[in-house]
């Protein structure tokens, strides 16, 4: 099978239907709305938190409204979005009822919708509670142990300075410890509720970190800080098989002199040693098998970890399509990945008219596609308010940085600043054909962000990359 062969198999599930695309940003649904129309669906309605950064859907593919959400942080934006889905404002209800007066539309949402119905319409491919509860980063170590996946030692303790200090002294190595919040406030991610504490586990930085976590959670997972490249493994649980893909780098940057870490998106330029790659794929497969056995899981998932000097160590599990799936979509645009995920989760994979060994073919298509066409880069949520999307071509300056491209120069990448919940979203896209494969993309991302500070006044500041240790 080829990637495009999966598209006609999806047509029976989408043709002729009305679809409400709910949550997230309008720009995030551009490709999905186009694909739905190609499959014979009616023109979609998008009900989004904000417009977002990037191309907007064609008016023939979708109409939309957005609530112009303004948030203090990424997680604040997620939670406001969830509240709007549960209880839409009048403008949302009117738009939905006008689009779907007979209540027959189905909802396609982002990965963070985990309820069976939104706006009184069924969510197609909703995430069951026993699935999303596994994203609790404080309680995941029991799962790793049951699956036989290696991890670092850890302790779960109350958010109290003395208790945390004692656990840090027991677990901390030379680089200190990482504290990860529980889900008292619900899902958290993007390293927003994570803090890196260094010895001697005291002073102003220590106190500030503990105070911050105490505002947001009751318990934290304390584990040694693991030096190495953050690497995520993506897989998919199907009724007849678990399939796994190639490593994806999680670009996590380090502001010097702070306890915070900055999540800056994903990329596939990094190549770990071949033996490590196969080891990570094996661990991801074991995790997928346990997901199916324990909670009858279906769909995409991610196993995030660090490639340390001793090998890859798991950190967290995401029971949804992770951020790295965006790299798959760009590498294999002819594969209808977003809609395929919803079909699998909703239980319709077995109703597709699939040829023999379709699961193995899907794995092959994705792995080969990701290896052949690399992508990704970095992003940063910034407080600079962007009212429209602005792009600049950039070139390498010969001394490890970037500058704006001059007329006639072939660009090495692109800087994009556009709207977001918090004000602006900065994105860096290195040109896949002009970016070396093998090394981490983090140093190039940092150089691009430094240029953005000069060009856009984004105020990101100094950052340091993770250190390769294999």
Same domain as 168, residue 90: no
CATH number of the structural domain spanning residue 103:
3.40.50
Contact 70, 421 (CB under 8 A): yes
Backbone dihedral region of 133: left (phi > 0), alpha (psi from -120 to 50 degrees) or beta?
A: alpha
Same domain as 116, residue 199: no
The pLDDT value given to residue 189: 84
CA–CA separation, 105 and 101 (whole Å): 9
The pLDDT value given to residue 355: 87
Spell out the SS3 assignment of the chain.
Answer: CCHHHHHHHHHHHHCCCCEEEECCEHHHHHHHHHHHHHCCCCCEEEEECECCCCCCCCCCCEEEEECCCCCCCHHHHHHHHHHHHHCCCHHHHHHHHHHCCCCCCEEEECCCCCCCEECCEEECCCCCHHHHHHHCCCCCHHHHHHHCCCECCCEEEECCHHHHHHHHHHHCECCEEEEEECCCCCCCCCCCCEEEECCCCCHHHHHHHHHHHHHHCCEEEEEECCCCEEEEEEEEECCCCEEECCCEEEEEEECCCCCCCEEEEEECCECCCHHHHHHHHHHHHHHHHHHHHHHCCCEEEEEEEEEECCEEEEEEEECCCCCCHHHHHHHCCCCCHHHHHHHHHCCCHHHCCCCCCHHHHHHHHHHHHHHHCCCECEEEEECCCCCCCEEEEEEECCCCCEEECCCCCCCCEEEEEEEECCEEEEEEEECHHHCCCECCCHHHHHHHHHHHHHHHCCCCCCCECCCCCC
Query: Is residue 262, in this structure, part of any structural domain at all?
Result: no
For the chain, give the mean pLDDT: 94
Query: Is residue 420, in this structure, part of any structural domain at all?
Result: yes
Q: For residues 307, 308, 314 and 320, what is the CA-based torsion angle, rounded to 10 degrees?
A: -30
Same domain as 109, residue 175: no
Query: Is residue 53, in this structure, part of any structural domain at all?
Result: yes
Task: Count CA atoms closer than 13 A to 209's CA, side-chain side.
Answer: 28
Q: Per residue in 359-378, pLDDT tens?
A: 999 999 999 999 999 999 99
CA–CA separation, 160 and 180 (whole Å): 14
CATH number of the structural domain spanning residue 209:
3.30.1490
Query: Is residue 470, in this structure, part of any structural domain at all?
Result: no
Residue 277 neighbours by CB distance under 10 Å: 17
Query: Is residue 468, in this structure, part of any structural domain at all?
Result: no
Same domain as 87, residue 38: yes
Same domain as 168, residue 116: no
Same domain as 120, residue 60: yes
The pLDDT value given to residue 81: 84
CA–CA separation, 44 and 284 (whole Å): 35
The pLDDT value given to residue 459: 96
pLDDT tens-place values along the chain, 470 residues long: 999 999 999 999 999 999 999 999 999 999 999 999 999 999 999 999 999 988 999 999 999 999 988 888 877 887 888 888 888 889 999 999 999 999 999 999 877 787 899 889 999 999 899 999 999 889 999 999 999 999 999 999 999 999 999 999 999 988 999 999 998 888 788 899 999 999 999 999 999 999 999 999 999 999 999 999 999 999 999 999 999 999 999 999 999 999 999 999 999 999 999 999 999 999 999 999 999 999 999 999 999 999 999 999 999 999 999 889 999 999 999 999 999 999 999 999 999 989 889 999 999 999 999 999 999 999 999 989 898 999 999 999 999 999 999 999 999 999 999 998 888 999 999 999 999 999 999 999 999 999 999 999 999 999 999 999 98
Same domain as 108, residue 21: yes
Among 198, 225, 252, residue at a domain's last position: 225
Query: Is residue 345, in this structure, part of any structural domain at all?
Result: no
Same domain as 164, residue 120: no
Which residue range is the domain that position 170 belongs to?
153-225
Same domain as 168, residue 121: no
Same domain as 165, residue 109: no
Nearest CA to 249 out of 276, 275, 231, 274 is that of: 231
Same domain as 121, residue 165: no
- CA distances, 7 to each of 12, 15, 35, 90 (Å): 10, 12, 9, 36
Nearest CA to 414 out of 451, 441, 361 is that of: 451
Residue labelled with tokens 């997620």: 78
Q: Which residues, at least 6 apart from 148, have a Cβ–Cβ distance to it below 8 Å?
A: 286
Q: Per residue in 67-121, pLDDT tens?
A: 988 888 877 887 888 888 888 889 999 999 999 999 999 999 877 787 899 889 9
> How many structural domains is the chain composed of?
3
For strand 390-396 and strand 402-404, is the pairing parallel, antiparallel, or unpaired?
Answer: antiparallel
Among 196, 225, 254, residue at a domain's last position: 225
Same domain as 97, residue 13: yes
CA–CA separation, 287 and 67 (whole Å): 38
CA 339 to chain centre: 17
Among 205, 225, 245, residue at a domain's last position: 225
Query: Is residue 241, in this structure, part of any structural domain at all?
Result: no
Query: Is residue 68, in this structure, part of any structural domain at all?
Result: yes
């Amino acid at each position: 099978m080829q990637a495009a062969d999966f598209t006609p198999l999806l047509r029976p599930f989408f043709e002729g239907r009305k679809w409400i695309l709910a949550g997230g940003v309008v720009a995030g649904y551009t490709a999905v709305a186009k694909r739905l129309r190609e499959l014979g669906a009616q023109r979609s309605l998008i009900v989004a938190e904000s417009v977002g950064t990037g191309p907007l859907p064609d008016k023939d593919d979708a109409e939309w409204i957005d609530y112009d959400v303004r948030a203090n942080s990424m997680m604040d934006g997620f939670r406001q979005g969830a509240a709007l889905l549960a209880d839409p404002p009048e403008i949302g209800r009117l738009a939905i009822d006008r689009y779907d007066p007979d209540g027959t539309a189905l909802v396609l949402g982002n990965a963070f919708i985990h309820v069976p119905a939104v706006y009184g319409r069924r969510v197609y491919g909703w995430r069951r509670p026993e699935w999303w509860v596994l994203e609790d980063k404080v309680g995941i170590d029991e799962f790793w142990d049951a699956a036989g996946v290696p991890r670092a030692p850890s302790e779960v303790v109350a958010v109290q300075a003395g208790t945390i200090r004692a656990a840090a002294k027991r677990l901390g190595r030379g680089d200190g410890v990482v504290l990860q919040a529980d889900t008292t406030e619900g899902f958290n991610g993007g390293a927003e509720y994570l803090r890196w504490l260094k010895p001697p586990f005291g002073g102003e930085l220590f106190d500030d970190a503990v105070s911050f976590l105490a505002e947001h959670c009751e318990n934290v997972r304390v584990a040694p800080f693991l030096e190495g490249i953050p690497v995520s493994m993506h897989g998919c649980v199907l009724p007849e098989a678990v399939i796994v893909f190639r490593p994806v780098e999680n670009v996590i940057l380090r502001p010097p002199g702070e306890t915070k870490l900055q999540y800056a998106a994903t990329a596939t330029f990094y190549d770990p040693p071949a033996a490590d790659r196969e080891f990570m794929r094996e661990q991801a497969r074991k995790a997928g098998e346990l997901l199916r056995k324990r909670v009858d899981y279906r769909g995409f998932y991610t196993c995030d970890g660090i490639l340390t000097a001793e090998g890859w160590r798991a950190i967290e599990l995401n029971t949804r399509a992770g951020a790295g799936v965006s790299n798959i979509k760009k590498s294999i645009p002819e594969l209808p990945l977003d809609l395929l995920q919803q079909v699998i989760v909703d239980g319709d994979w077995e109703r597709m008219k699939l040829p023999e060994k379709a699961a193995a073919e899907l794995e092959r298509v994705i792995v080969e596609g990701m290896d052949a066409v690399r992508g990704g880069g970095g992003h940063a949520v910034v407080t600079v308010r962007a009212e429209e999307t602005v792009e600049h071509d950039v070139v390498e300056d010969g001394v490890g940085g970037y500058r704006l491209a001059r007329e006639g120069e072939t660009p090495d990448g692109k800087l994009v600043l556009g709207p977001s919940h918090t004000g602006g979203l900065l994105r860096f896209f290195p040109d896949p054909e002009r970016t070396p494969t093998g090394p981490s993309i983090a140093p190039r991302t940092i150089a691009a962000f430094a240029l953005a500070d000069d060009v856009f006044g984004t105020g990101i500041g100094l950052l340091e990359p993770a250190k390769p240790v294999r």
